[in-house]
């Protein structure tokens, strides 16, 4: 239960961060809703392929948080340990390989700080 409270606070803090473009926040919310909703682009009853859309959405979300967004922004809200952050970042780097680049290029408006 404690994990979900921290997760909720983390998502709320990110949603209120002014450094993240509003459009990106709206896209993240839509993707998270699509991820947890029972409605899918590809129905889950289709073996293997039914889970692909959820997996791709998860890859796109984790890629945004751990690759596109500056680490300072994420760490300013991240409620868990630095060790877990490093682990999540390694996992997100692997997942990023499954997130289609043409989708990522079109949906995100955030521009990284060139000095970080």
Total structural domains within the chain = 1
In a domain, 35, yes or no: yes
pLDDT value at position 114? 75
pLDDT tens column, 81-105? 999 999 999 999 999 999 998 998 8
In a domain, 54, yes or no: yes
pLDDT tens column, 32-83? 999 888 888 888 888 888 888 889 999 999 999 998 999 999 999 999 999 9
Q: What does the block give as tokens for 36?
A: 């947890």
Residue 16 belongs to domain spanning: 2-107
In a domain, 115, yes or no: no
In a domain, 116, yes or no: no
In a domain, 112, yes or no: no
In a domain, 17, yes or no: yes
In a domain, 76, yes or no: yes
In a domain, 85, yes or no: yes
């Amino acid at each position: 239960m404690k994990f979900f409270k921290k997760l909720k606070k983390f998502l709320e803090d990110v949603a209120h961060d002014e450094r993240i473009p509003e459009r990106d926040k709206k896209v993240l919310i839509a993707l998270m809703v699509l991820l947890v909703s029972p409605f899918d682009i590809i129905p889950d009853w289709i073996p293997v392929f039914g889970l692909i859309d959820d997996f791709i959405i998860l890859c796109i979300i984790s890629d945004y948080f751990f690759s596109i967004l500056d680490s300072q922004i994420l760490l300013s809200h991240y409620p868990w340990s630095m060790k877990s952050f490093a682990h999540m970042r390694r996992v997100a780097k692997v997942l990023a390989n499954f997130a289609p680049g043409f989708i990522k290029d079109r949906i995100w408006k955030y521009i990284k700080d060139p000095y970080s």
